[in-house]
Chains A and B, each alone.
Chain A
Amino acid sequence: MKKSCLYKSLAILLFVCLLCPPFLWGQTDYKFQEDDLLKEMDKAAPKSSEPKGQEDDLLKEMDKAGEAAPQDQKGKEKVAQAEAKQQTELSKLVDNFHGSLRLRGMHFWQNPPVREGADTRNDFGNALFKFSDKMNYKDFTLNVGGWVEYGNEENTYSGTSFSEFWQDMDRRRRILDISDLYINYSRETFNFLIGKKTLTNGMSTLYLPSDRMRPQDLNDPLDVKDLNLWQARMDYDVAEATTLTAAFLPVYQPQKTPSETSRWMGERKQGDTEFDLYDAGNANMREDVPKFSDTNFGYFARFKKKGFHGWDLFASFYHGPNPFYVVREEQVAGPIPGTTQPQRIKEVVKVDDYAAGFSTTYESWEFHGEVVYNYSYDRKDDDYFNYVGGFTYTFDDFAKKLWLEKIDFTLEYANEIITRVQNAETYVSSSKKSRLGRNDILSRINFEYSDKLSFQFVCNFQVDQIDYGRFQRLEAKYKFRDGLISKLAAEFFGGQSDSLYGRWQKNDRLILEFEYSF
């Protein structure tokens, strides 16, 4: 009996053990489901929207943050009065002071071409502090902006000399530079600006043929800085979203190019008759840069209309020194008395640029295009059309299938048509090789995973049979916190040895940078 009882008990225990766990599991499952269902019901048919828990905390936090800010809903006057009482000129300057600090490191994984005196290091770094400030008085605003930068690249930084403040003739980058210094006088229908500021033009996205009044510091040709132009400019709103711009540009500012010892100069190419901005083979040439004089003034005018039946349009005109050099040859006294020798001189010639462009949207597409016609006086340079056309397409539904927020794809094609080649006595080379957008395909793809993390691929293929070249850049961007961004990028160059990108074929590099903006 006892044994049978024991067996019965064991059998019951076994039964319980075998059956109950699944039952219990089933119960647990049921509870989870119920919980989910209740939550879902809560979401699906909420009868209440009380801010609870985290949301309540968030609202309170926003309340606290706002206590410091001026509270006013009744009118502009109170805010203005409160601000006038609280803010002194100094505190306004402090409030308007903004800047960023960037630390940048680069590693080139190939040695540069062997050249006498060349900097053969492969690791470089620099620190850049950018700043801007402004001061308002009635309708006037004084704006100041610039940078402080230093790094370990040889022959690149030139100290803080202001001796060439009006026209910076030094090839090197200034350690301290005031790139923006201008006064704005703004009224309802016009804005008058006098001082030093960038002057942008064009409506294209990656390559802008008409954006020529924009000298740049090309010491690192892929990390350029705008040098900005002295100007007196009037932007006048003649009708709704229709602006007429007229600018007087008294000082020609030459581009800055890398040092002859820099790896960006590539290999020397002896005996080449053509040259470009980076051609170290012509480093012994003299430069003839237009000085400050009435014959070298630049004039710019533009008509721009935005939102005209879904189209943005512009037409512009520029008369003045060309940003691209040509070469002339002169006979100068040789080393032996009574003899002469040829001397090549880089010269900036005078041109007229007529440009027009558009941007419009249709369905999911944004289309844009620009053309500029360059007319050179006295045939000292080529006359040519330079044009670009392209589009941007934004993928959203497709991007979401790839767990991305969005994908932007931009594709452009640029080319030029020479209508009249250079043909002037003693002029031996046109600006052709310095010019960009001659049979080029340009593209950019942005992959946005989130607001914090994004990836970008940029490429430029020069598909010209003689001057073929290619550039590709892959970049990952991550935002750590408010204002703090890091970028990791790889750049690849290739092509024919004296094309723009081919000369940098040993400059493939990895870049890491951190930037904090405030």
Chain B
Amino acid sequence: MTKRTIIWIVGILFLFSASVVSAQMTGRQVMEKQKERHKVKTEIGNEDMMLVDKSGAKENRQVVRYAKEVGKDLHRYLVVFLSPGDIRGTALRTWEKKGGDNDQWLYLPAQKKEQRIAKAGKKNYFMGTDFTYEDMEPEDLNNFNYNILRSEQFNHEGKSYDSYVIEALPANEKKKQESGYAKRIMWIEKANLTTLKTDFYDKRNKHQKTQLNYKFETVSGSVMRPKQTIMNNMEKGHKTVTATRSRQVNTNISDTTFTEQFILSGKHLQ
């Protein structure tokens, strides 16, 4: 009788502990859920961009971004600058590749041709913004280890959000060398799995920049996107503010949008 009771107690404790473990998601699972929840087939966003330097001088830019999922977790991206005049028509194409380096091409109108970019260049800032080429690439979950550091109440836009604080570390030596960051720390709210804030740490583990996302809105089903973003680069004393003016998701975008021919025929500026 006593033996049976002990077995029952051990069994119940085992089941209970197992259920507790399953309730505690890993960092990787949170990221997978986030990716799944906010995934769209296609997206076109028109953005205004403001660059603010140390002295407070401002530059305004207009950008249009295209994105399309062409296979399972395989995306293509196109970013086009519409203004100011000196960079009008500049375009960056990215093709995500599984198990290899992504293909990236930069089109500069003065050269009238595209140039393939090596990955070392991806640590560099894109066209004077505080976003590097790496920041503009899709998040490949296999390239990072995600650890939940803690849960906390995060005050954002006058509200308190129950959030995961997740650390993203390069998963392997190759990625460690390629990446411009030693780590990133993300504040992801639990209810909607939106990233409210990301801190970027440089190779010396120094806090380099912070990205804050504001005014989240539902764009389709459970998919949410921020309307405004600030990337504050403490290292350079420089900020990039973006505001989305219009966004279309899950509309029909042709695969040809992500080709060189789309740019050379001038369609990217139409």
Contact = CB atoms under 8 A, between A and B. Distances in A.
B41 interface: no
A418 B232 CA distance: 58
28 contacts: A49-B154, A49-B197, A50-B155, A51-B212, A54-B56, A59-B228, A62-B50, A184-B265, A184-B266, A188-B254, A188-B256, A202-B113, A235-B261, A241-B259, A243-B259, A306-B114, A307-B103, A359-B116, A360-B116, A361-B101, A363-B120, A366-B115, A366-B116, A393-B120, A450-B128, A483-B86, A517-B85, A518-B85
A43 B207 contact: yes
A306 B212 CA distance: 36
Given A188-B256, A312-B116, A452-B128, 17 more contacts: A50-B155, A75-B251, A100-B85, A100-B86, A186-B267, A189-B256, A191-B261, A200-B113, A243-B260, A306-B259, A359-B115, A363-B120, A364-B118, A364-B119, A366-B116, A368-B116, A450-B128
Given A58-B52, A59-B230, A186 B84 contact: no
A164 interface: no
Contacts of A310: 97, 100-101, 103
Contact of B239 (A43, A58, A397, A482): A58
B270 A141 contact: yes
A116 interface: no
A81 interface: no
Q: Which 9 residue pairs across A and B have the least CB separation, nearest first?
A: A451-B128, A517-B85, A364-B120, A48-B155, A62-B243, A482-B84, A394-B121, A483-B84, A517-B86
Contacts of A364: 118-121
A261 interface: no
B88 interface: yes
Contacts of B207: 43-44
Interface residues on B, range: 35 or more
Contacts of A294: none
A451 B125 contact: yes
Nearest to B219: A73
Interface stretch (A63-71, A246-254, A493-501): A63-71
A134 B266 CA distance: 10
Interface in A350-379: 359-366, 368
A202 B113 CA distance: 9
B217 interface: yes
A98 B266 CA distance: 14
A236 to B, nearest CB: 9
Interface in B37-65: 46, 48, 50-53, 56-57, 59-60
A483 B120 contact: no
B82 to A, nearest CB: 10
Given A58-B241, A73-B217, A205-B115, A47 B230 contact: no
A310 B234 CA distance: 35
B195 to A, nearest CB: 12
A143 B88 CA distance: 16
B124 A405 contact: yes
B118 A363 contact: yes
Given A186-B267, A392-B118, A396-B120, A58 B50 contact: yes
Nearest to B187: A49
Contacts of B86: 100, 479, 482-485, 515, 517
Contacts of A365: 118, 120
Contact of B245 (A71, A134, A485): A71
Contacts of A191: 261, 265
A481 B60 CA distance: 10
A50 B120 contact: no
B154 A47 contact: yes
A364 B114 CA distance: 18
Contact of B180 (A48, A202, A396, A518): A396
A198 interface: yes
Interface string B228-270: 1010101010010111011110010011100111001111001
Interface in A216-259: 235, 237, 240-241, 243
B105 interface: yes
Interface residues of A, number: 85
A136 B270 contact: yes
A2 interface: no
A515 B84 CA distance: 13
A188 B257 CA distance: 9
Interface of B: 46, 48, 50-53, 56-57, 59-60, 83-86, 88, 95, 97, 100-101, 103, 105, 112-121, 123-125, 127-128, 152-158, 180, 187, 196-197, 203, 207, 212, 214, 217, 219, 228, 230, 232, 234, 236, 239, 241-243, 245-248, 251, 254-256, 259-261, 264-267, 270
A396 B203 contact: no
A61 interface: yes
A191 B259 CA distance: 13
B121 A405 contact: no
B156 A517 contact: no
A482 B245 contact: no
A39 to B, nearest CB: 11
Given A141-B270, A200-B113, A451-B51, A59 B214 contact: yes
A134 B270 CA distance: 10
Given A200-B112, A396-B121, A517-B86, A49 B60 contact: no
Contact of A366 (B59, B97, B118): B118
Contact of A59 (B56, B234, B241, B267): B241
A328 interface: no
B164 to A, nearest CB: 14
B119 A55 contact: no
Contacts of B259: 237, 240-241, 243, 306
A371 to B, nearest CB: 18
A406 interface: yes
Nearest to A309: B100
A361 B118 contact: yes
A334 B60 CA distance: 69
B67 to A, nearest CB: 15
A85 interface: no
Contacts of A395: 120
A188 B213 CA distance: 36
Interface in A371-430: 392-397, 405-406, 408
Given A191-B265, A241-B259, A485-B86, A66 B245 contact: yes
A114 interface: no
Contacts of B187: 49
B246 A73 contact: yes
A296 to B, nearest CB: 25
A141 B197 CA distance: 43
A79 interface: yes
Contacts of B88: 98, 517
